[in-house]
Structure 1
């Protein structure tokens, strides 16, 4: 005669969890309490904010990486005509920092751009107006001079631009944003088209040039470089900055809010379990203290 065998199935829970009435871990019931649902909502908002901050930093990194790629492509290339890389609207896409060659005659006056650093020292950038036959009047950033010994209130002496036909080799640049500052005649706060037009009254080309070299009487078989007495500007910044690292940090930080919620739920569950079973809680506390004591002892031994 056979005897029916009955098996008893035991529901197991991970350590630190208890079984609820529905057989599920109590941590799930804890998470749907209003307090912790609010915590999860805040953690989600925090994660979304971190994500977009990371995207913002990453876009800044990509902008600088694209700038460096443009520099690598254009900065040391052979000079091209000014009209090939610029028009009335500014520098053509992808043509920033292209080397350009153009010829013309300088206007006798020059313009001082105030508060311009060069190798950590503040001074002035000196702008000339090159009148060309086919490209209009082009602003040339001819170089830099430090402040005069009397300070920024006294303009440093600068030799007038060379007379006659001059050929300029340099890099094409878009105009800067106007700082809207009221300055004395012949001075501007930035290389902005509106400010320069107001100061000089000239109808300017859509982009300006950072001079690399000036040659008197054009680039003949034996060109004569012009010694302007001005210092060259610093090369363009190629630093990528910390933006890539900041983006990654923001994205890692997305999990922080959820980690706080998890720690809070875990602590609350332990407190509730301690109320139900004080002896087990006391035993865990003693074990934790013993582990801490052993760790301190190992540190003390390592000191010898």
Structure 2
């Protein structure tokens, strides 16, 4: 009954469904990988964000090469801000509002220079493309607690003087003209003495897995549905072939030659009239039979 599945046409359909299913499975696995990454990030926030600050002497190596497992770990710094080298990072939205983030080099008492992200500023009204004011950091010796975060990739865009297109620490180091720790930077948590005016603090990262699991299940379902659809089409074709064989057998018994295609749409049986009378198709057949009888007589 299903020997037609070995034909070139049906083997081609089967191959197409296999390719479709493989693509869906790959997309489903990709979403599952993104889910694993989201869960790992959530775990780092839960484990590190509110931990006790680590002295810079113990965490200095993280600023040169950050261990991903130490992301968001608070580090206690003591030193001095290099206010003259402040830069702002463009295109940094916060809660749907456009703005900037403020980066300031910080020279620790150990002699290293690390980058501290002091927070967010809204876009300015006085001069296009710049914040109206950039609050100055505390002067003199300052105690800072900042959470570790890896630098960002180069986005390939330029920026006006005093601005950066992303927190790409190597580019910032080249602009400064002196050595800076480029393995990580610190997101400001607190500073003492506290200045009168500061940029808005960056919010705590949300612990959210996103829709990756549902998307993954949808892709896997699509992969299965491809084979279900092919199976349904094969079942329909088998039924059509069976009806054609039955029609051919009836025609052979009546001595009439019947021509039909190996592939056709299913036939609809004529609906019976509610009053029990003949259908339009039966009336048409009777009319054609009478014409044929008159032609022969």
User: TM-score per shorter chain, which class?
Assistant: 0.7 to 0.9
Deviations 1:20-55 (A, max 9, x none): xxxxxx12x122222112211221122222111111
Pick the aligned partner of 1:99 from 48, 57, 74: 74
Secondary structure of 2:70's aligned partner = coil
Pick the aligned partner of 1:49 from 10, 14, 23: 23
Deviates more, 1:269-278 or 1:257-266: 269-278
What is the rounded CA distance, in whole Å, between the counterparts of 1:104 and 1:180 in structure 2?
A: 33
CA contact (8 A) 2:153 2:166 kept: yes
- Unaligned stretches of 5+ in structure 1? 1-25, 217-224, 291-304
CA positional deviation for 1:83: 4.9
- Unaligned stretches of 5+ in structure 2? 251-265, 275-297
Deviates more, 1:122-131 or 1:41-50: 41-50
Equivalence for 2:292: none
Task: Determine which structure has the larger helix proportion and give its number.
Answer: 2
Structure showing greater Rg: 2
TM-score, structure 1 length as denominator? 0.76
What is the rounded CA distance, in whole Å, between the counterparts of 1:284 and 1:179 in structure 2?
A: 62
Change (3 A) 1:151 1:185: closer
What is the rounded CA distance, in whole Å, between the counterparts of 1:186 and 1:283 in structure 2?
A: 76
CA contact (8 A) 1:173 1:210 kept: yes
CA contact (8 A) 1:186 1:199 kept: no
Pick the aligned partner of 1:163 from 139, 150, 170: 139
Secondary structure of 1:183's aligned partner = coil
Deviations 1:242-263 (A, max 9, x none): 1111111111211122122212
CA contact (8 A) 2:173 2:180 kept: yes
Secondary structure of 2:69's aligned partner = coil
Task: Determine which structure has the larger strand proportion and give its number.
Answer: 1
Equivalence for 1:61: 35
CA positional deviation for 1:277: 3.1
Equivalence for 1:186: 162
CA positional deviation for 1:106: 0.8
Equivalence for 2:51: 77
Q: Give the 4+ runs in structure 1 shifted more than 4 A.
A: 282-287
